[in-house]
Amino acid sequence: MPKLLRTISEVSDFTSLYHLVNRRIGLIPTMGALHEGHLELGRKARKECDCVIYSIFVNPIQFGKGEDLERYPRDMKGDMEKLDSVGADAVFAPETAIMYGKDHSTFVDTGRIGRILCGRTRKNHFRGVATVVLKLFNITGCDQAYFGKKDYQQFVILKKMVRELDLPHEIIGIDTIRDPDGLAMSSRNSYLSDSQRKSAVSIYRALSKAKGNLLKYKDKSDLIRDTRSVIEKEKSAEIEYLEIRNADDLSKIKSLKTGKKFVLMTAVKIGGTRLIDNIELN
Ligand code: AMP
């Protein structure tokens, strides 16, 4: 079993020897309720690092009012067993009070890029993500950290943070892991009823259809309209946004023909459950 670390000094004690002899530490930040997507990050880290540390922390400062902080799924025992199977060395699972004192007031401001797309409805979400990730970088002193491109905006924002704050850590992204029917794996999929789960498959169906038909479109608004209509065939689906952005910096694109890498990104509510997904268009 991986070693369970509850405090910052336990993490320091655990990592000190690795630091002393210059061994590579890989970090995988998560909120737990782990699935294959999370485990795939660890398998990659296992190949590349001497020490693999997962963090499991449902980070309150990245949740807004009325979001699912209280009911977010938690399964520490199951998570530890899964992490044993990928050969993780340690799990840092702190209580909230360890991470944030009562008067905590220092945050990473992610700027405009944190206010577009998901940031439009989830105010302060990326501020909370960047703050906890920077803390986890400092606590573990990791050399590299692994993130899923399923959370594409988060991935781009964290890379920008590392670049702009001159952090020594390397951000490594992995492709989205999906269920056999295409639905992107997510801890929040457990909120879906059977019929909602079936409707949710329309998200990936729509994104892959858009990618397959990309060359047929001259105008990006036609592509967006047709993609929306695939999702909207499902009565329970409500699109929060569906946008094509520049894959490197998430800036808006004028046309589909610039030869750059694009990413088609969406957030869709199925019933009350908010799901995100994206597909890279080259
Ligand atoms: P979370 O526990 O949802 O905060 O996710 C922790 C990490 O796992 C993040 O870097 C996510 O992007 C990544 N992740 C979550 N779901 C997937 C997935 N289906 N495929 C790949 N990575 C994922």
The residue extents of the domains of the chain are: 3-174, 187-281
- Give, for ligand 1, the residue of 41, 79, 191 to mutate: max count of ligand atoms closer than 8 Å to Cβ: 41
Distance 15 CA to ligand 1 centre (A): 24
The radius of gyration computed from the CA coordinates of the chain, to the nearest angstrom, equals 19
Task: Name the residue with the closest Cα to ligand 1, atom 22.
Answer: 148
Distance 31 CA to ligand 1 centre (A): 9
What is the per-residue pLDDT for 274?
Answer: 98
DSSP one-letter string for 175-232? PPPB-TTSPBP-GGGGG--HHHHHHHHHHHHHHHHHHHTGGG-SSHHHHHHHHHHHHH
Return the DSSP state at 63: P
C-alpha 163 chain-centroid distance: 19
Note the pTM of the prediction, 2 decimals. Answer: 0.98
Residues with CB under 6 A from ligand 1: 30-31, 37-38, 41, 147-148, 150-151, 174, 176-177, 184-187
Q: What is the dihedral of CA 13, 60, 199, 178, to 10 degrees?
A: -20
What is the per-residue pLDDT for 46?
Answer: 98
Q: What is the pLDDT along the chain (282 residues), one digit of tens a residue?
A: 999 999 999 999 999 999 999 999 999 999 999 999 999 999 999 999 999 999 999 999 999 999 999 999 999 999 999 999 999 999 999 999 999 999 999 999 999 999 999 999 999 999 999 999 999 999 999 999 999 999 999 999 999 999 999 999 999 999 999 999 999 999 999 999 999 999 999 999 999 999 999 999 999 999 999 999 999 999 999 999 999 999 999 999 988 876 789 999 999 999 999 999 999 998
Rounded to an integer, what distance in angstroms lies between the CA atom of residue 127 and that of residue 153? 12
Residues with active-site annotation: 38
Q: Which helix (H) or strand (E) holds 156?
A: helix 152-164
What is the per-residue pLDDT for 173?
Answer: 98
Task: Name the residue with the closest Cα to ligand 1, atom 14.
Answer: 148
Query: How far lies 233's CA from each of 184, 217, 236, 241, 273, in Å?
Result: 19, 21, 9, 16, 17
Instruction: Please state at what angle helix 125-140 crosses helix 8-20, rounded to 10 degrees.
Output: 50
Q: Are strands 262-270 and 237-246 parallel, antiparallel or unpaired?
A: antiparallel
- Under CATH, what is the fold of the domain 3-174? Rossmann fold (3.40.50)
- Under CATH, what is the fold of the domain 187-281? Pantoate--beta-alanine Ligase; Chain: A,domain 2 (3.30.1300)
Return the DSSP state at 101: -
Count the Cβ atoms, other than its own, within 10 Å of residue 211.
16
CB 125 within 8 A of CB 113: no
What is the per-residue pLDDT for 260?
Answer: 82
The one-letter amino acid code at 258 reads T
What is the per-residue pLDDT for 72?
Answer: 98
- Which ligand 1 atom minimizes the distance to the CA of 32? 2
Q: Are strands 51-56 and 170-174 parallel, antiparallel or unpaired?
A: unpaired
- Tally the residues of the chain: 282
Rounded to an integer, what distance in angstroms lies between the CA atom of residue 174 and that of residue 133? 17
What is the per-residue pLDDT for 282?
Answer: 81
